[in-house]
Amino acid sequence: MSFNVAVLGFGTVGSGVAEVLSMNRDSIARKTGKDIVLKHILDLRDFPDSPYASLVTHNADEVFGDSELNVAVETIGGARIAYEYTRRALTAGISVVTSNKELVSTHGVELLKLAEEHNCSYLFEAAVGGGIPIIRPLYKCLAANKIIRIAGIVNGTTNYILSKMKEEGISYGDALKQAQDNGFAEANPSADVDGIDAQRKLSILSTIALDGNYIAPDRIRTEGISSLTLDDIKFERKIGCELKLIAYYENRGGLPSVYVAPHYVSSSNLLSSVGGVFNAISVEGNALGESLFYGQGAGMLPTASAVCGDIAEVAVTGGVPSEPRLWKDEGTEIACYDDVEASIVVRADGNLTELSAAFKGYKFRTLGVDAILVESIAHRDIGALVSKVNGAKWLHYLA
Amino acid sequence: MSFNVAVLGFGTVGSGVAEVLSMNRDSIARKTGKDIVLKHILDLRDFPDSPYASLVTHNADEVFGDSELNVAVETIGGARIAYEYTRRALTAGISVVTSNKELVSTHGVELLKLAEEHNCSYLFEAAVGGGIPIIRPLYKCLAANKIIRIAGIVNGTTNYILSKMKEEGISYGDALKQAQDNGFAEANPSADVDGIDAQRKLSILSTIALDGNYIAPDRIRTEGISSLTLDDIKFERKIGCELKLIAYYENRGGLPSVYVAPHYVSSSNLLSSVGGVFNAISVEGNALGESLFYGQGAGMLPTASAVCGDIAEVAVTGGVPSEPRLWKDEGTEIACYDDVEASIVVRADGNLTELSAAFKGYKFRTLGVDAILVESIAHRDIGALVSKVNGAKWLHYLA
């Protein structure tokens, strides 16, 4: 039985989807009982040299009017045309599969509802962690857990830059330039280096962790990596840590805390070993304890792998999702960032005595001769204490 | 709407299931739309002090004859009574969820068929990796991949023993005794230390990797850890490795190779950082590249977490599995172990010259003054070459 797919947006991920469907066609057919056929490619451009040139159309009506179309793959990106086309497909009862974290994190509530109303699916395994299975395990395998904590390296570009700064002893600016030259960072790198991409992914993860109670990206306090210095990086060695941009969610019964920030990650934590463009997400459930998912967080084929896994799911379910996946936007309360207690590292060259004095009301331990690790302090109290010590600087710490 | 569960066998995992269903009842209800009710506990024993004492019955007819029963949790273990009860439940159209790797690996073909014939599910996320999501990600998230390689630390007991030998510099026998004293090893430790448990789990993983073409456990060449010495452990530091018991599957187009054996794992591989009772499974797909799943491979609540995730799946699907999960026992060909080419480390105190001479036909590099790393050599050729060098010993290597 054939099962027809349209790819909307034939860029990196879209062409990866075509490639994966082609190279693993037999194997996917064995697993799903369906022959997956790429039928349309909707794009503004032509691709005369592509083996799929004959499938390319510029006419959206042709695609969405095709009554034999089973699933649309939205790999356009952004939240404008992608939004319009996704609405159009779902309204026509065509399931949509996407890697578009911006669209899912900003319009997920509405689009999931639209899918349910039209008895089809809106799936986005590829939107977080690229090829790493994380969305489905969170929904399905951890269904019997309350999610207590998520700590993830979810942006490969920033992880690559931090790895480069460390390995080659170069500045943030030089490492960013290398990332751009090697295709790991955009000409305008803001979405990555300012943590926006991580913020969107954390919006999706924390909404799922909260059983669908939506946390909009703009509610997530976010700090990127652009103000990190080579000194910050060099310091990690002194204290047995690695500096990583961490998307952090914690919910131990009070209000959930959700933020993105650079963290010194202890070398005893597996996240510290995740280098280059890899991603990893640690999830703690109240029954499971800690588990960790690691793999390639971006790239054509890994991301396409996740997209095609979702296509296979639509092929076997017929697009009727088995479990309720609705999100609710009812103003879920989250903890005020200023109130959230965090572990931090504060350093000040040769000023250990002053540091210890400034933080004497808190439980802390010294790290070498230049720094202290404060176990738990409210964000609102950090600034004033740090500013008491000449040249002091602080960053988050993850044990 | 209520959804009724019976637990068959109220041991560690069975009582963990009761606890998880109780502590996360609200959260599971939100996710599944069903109120999961523990209705029966079938066991030969009484549990007068248990909060669930009133649910305990010794009468199997009462359980399997209950027309309102939706799912049976088989946590009996072994392949005798567990087999009989699983057959009985599935034949009655009652879905079965289990953590029993022995039963799944020996009778999975028949039991999956029985489930399909009676329009219900036989699910076993908890049978491999305890709480770590691995079975469902392999089936679902990696559906669009050909699985090229699996390398897993899937037995916590042996990993604990190897970690102890290393950390405390004690012999295999002493470390085993500690594991037994601490409840991490059975009085009869054979299933763990001889690799049988890992073999069963690898049987399940490789069968799934082969799209359901069944690889019986007894076809998997298996070597445990009981012959490893403290010298083997001490040597790992010299060569920047950790010694781990690895369940290994590889399929790059020829015949698949499948075996369990101790490996020196390079410190650049995340598997080398997996200590104590933790498990981790690295999976390489032809589209995804490498991904890794890490977490607690055993223990009451983690394992129960996976069991309850499967219960939740039955609750949302009504027991009708969405994708075909039949296994086929049609004598899938696997590579003869003797023919399989592997990377190995060969060491011989102070005999580097002889070692180099013995392996001069092969591509190898020296490791310090005592050992060589041979990149690829057929198992059949190893013995004769190693025996040429006085005192030489070899073990597998994983980069």
**In angstroms, what is the C-alpha Rg of chain A?**
23
C-alpha distance from B159 to closest chain A C-alpha (Å): 17
Check: CB of residue B157 under 8 Å from CB of residue B185. Answer: yes
- Please compute the mean of the pLDDT values over residues A362-377 and round it to a whole number: 94
Considering only CA atoms, which of A163, A143, A88 is closest in space to residue A325? A143
Check: CB of residue A262 under 8 Å from CB of residue A246. Answer: yes
Mark yes or no for CB contact B133/A131 under 8 Å.
no
Tokens coding B13: 């995992």
Tokens coding A179: 């990332």
What pLDDT digit, counting tens, does each position of B387-399 carry?
Answer: 999 999 999 999 9
**Model pLDDT, residue A368:** 82
Nearest-by-CA chain A residue for B33: A324
- Percent of chain B at pLDDT > 90 equals 90
Of B101, B201, B234, B393, the active-site residue reads: B201
End-to-end CA distance of chain A: 52
SS3 letters across B244-258: EEEEEEECCCCCCEE
Residues of chain B in contact with residue A302, where contact means CB-CB under 8 angstroms, are: 287-289
The whole-angstrom separation of Cα B326 and Cα B213 is 9
Nearest to A131 among B33, B291, B296 (CB): B291
Tokens coding B97: 């969820």
Nearest to B143 among A16, A31, A296 (CB): A31
- Please compute the mean of the pLDDT values over residues B63-79 and round it to a whole number: 97
Q: At B387, is the secondary structure helix, strand, or coil? A: helix
Residues of chain B in contact with residue A139, where contact means CB-CB under 8 angstroms, are: 31
C-alpha distance from A300 to closest chain B C-alpha (Å): 9
Nearest-by-CA chain B residue for A137: B133
- Please compute the mean of the pLDDT values over residues A180-191 and round it to a whole number: 92
Mark yes or no for CB contact A322/B322 under 8 Å.
yes
Interface probe, candidates A288, A317, A320, A330, chain B, greatest B C-beta count within 10 A:
A288
The structure tokens 């050992």 sit at B371
**Residue B361 vs residues A37, A304, B356, B398: alpha-carbon distances, Å:** 49, 42, 9, 21
Q: Which residues contact B376 (CB under 8 A, 6 or more apart)?
A: B341, B342, B343, B362, B363
Residue B186 backbone zone (phi > 0: left; psi -120 to 50: alpha; other: beta) = beta
pLDDT-derived band of residue B329, with 50, 70 and 90 as boundaries?
very high
Nearest-by-CA chain B residue for A319: B322
Which sign, positive or negative, has the C-alpha torsion B295, B298, B300, B305?
positive
**Model pLDDT, residue A318:** 87
The answer to whether residue A321 scores a pLDDT higher than 80 is: no
Nearest to A273 among B132, B273, B306 (CB): B273
Considering only CA atoms, which of A98, A205, A323, A143 is closest in space to residue B316? A323
- Please compute the mean of the pLDDT values over residues A118-131 and round it to a whole number: 95
Q: At what angle do helices B101-117 and B81-91 cross, to 10 degrees?
A: 20
C-alpha distance from A225 to closest chain B C-alpha (Å): 25
Mark yes or no for CB contact B324/A33 under 8 Å.
yes
Residue A143 backbone zone (phi > 0: left; psi -120 to 50: alpha; other: beta) = alpha
Mark yes or no for CB contact A20/B125 under 8 Å.
no
Q: Global pTM?
A: 0.95
**In angstroms, what is the C-alpha Rg of chain B?**
23
Amino acid letter at B16?
A: G
Nearest 5°: phi and psi at A321?
Answer: -70, 140
Which runs of consecutive H residues, i.e. helices, occur in chain A? 12-23, 25-32, 60-64, 81-91, 101-117, 135-136, 156-168, 172-181, 190-193, 196-209, 230-238, 300-317, 352-358, 379-387
Nearest to B305 among A30, A132, A288 (CB): A288
Length of chain B: 399
Mark yes or no for CB contact A143/B322 under 8 Å.
no
Mark yes or no for CB contact A309/B142 under 8 Å.
yes
The whole-angstrom separation of Cα B244 and Cα A266 is 23
Nearest 5°: phi and psi at A388?
Answer: -70, -25
Length of chain A: 399
This model of the complex carries an ipTM of 0.93
Please give the sequence-ordered ranges of beta strands (E in DSSP) within B225-340, or none if there are none: 241-250, 257-266, 278-285, 289-296
Which runs of consecutive H residues, i.e. helices, occur in B24-92? 25-32, 60-64, 81-91
Nearest to A295 among B288, B304, B308 (CB): B288
The answer to whether residue A323 scores a pLDDT higher than 80 is: no
Mean pLDDT taken over chain A: 95
Tokens coding A324: 């309720």
The whole-angstrom separation of Cα A96 and Cα A108 is 12
Please list the residues that pair with B252 across neighbouring strands.
none
The answer to whether residue B73 scores a pLDDT higher than 70 is: yes
The answer to whether residue A28 scores a pLDDT higher than 90 is: yes
**Model pLDDT, residue A322:** 65
Residues of chain B in contact with residue A28, where contact means CB-CB under 8 angstroms, are: 143-144
Residue burial A74-91, b: 16+ Cβ < 10 Å; e: rest: bbbbebebbbebbebbbe
Query: What's the distance, CA B53 to chain centroid?
Result: 32
The answer to whether residue B319 scores a pLDDT higher than 90 is: no
Tokens coding B303: 């394992």
Q: At A146, is the secondary structure helix, strand, or coil? A: coil
Please list the residues that pair with B283 across neighbouring strands.
B150, B291
Residues of chain A in contact with residue B141, where contact means CB-CB under 8 angstroms, are: 125, 133, 136-137, 306, 309
What pLDDT digit, counting tens, does each position of B15-30 carry?
Answer: 999 999 999 999 999 9
Q: Between A and B, how many CB-CB pairs are < 8 A?
A: 206
Helix (H) or strand (E) holding A289: strand A289-296
Please list the residues that pair with B73 across neighbouring strands.
B7, B97
Please give the sequence-ordered ranges of beta strands (E in DSSP) within A315-392, or none if there are none: 341-347, 364-367, 371-378
Burial of A58 (0-12, 13-18, 19+ CB in 10 A): exposed
Nearest 5°: phi and psi at A71?
Answer: -150, 140
Active site residue A238: no
Mark yes or no for CB contact B309/A31 under 8 Å.
no
- Please compute the mean of the pLDDT values over residues B147-175 and round it to a whole number: 97
What pLDDT digit, counting tens, does each position of A221-263 carry?
Answer: 999 999 999 999 999 988 999 999 999 999 998 999 999 999 9
What is the number of other CB atoms lying within 10 angstroms of the CB of residue B267? 15
C-alpha distance from B303 to closest chain A C-alpha (Å): 7
Q: Which residues contact B66 (CB under 8 A, 6 or more apart)?
A: B4, B6, B39, B40
Interface probe, candidates A35, A267, A274, A305, chain B, greatest B C-beta count within 10 A:
A305
The whole-angstrom separation of Cα A93 and Cα A110 is 15
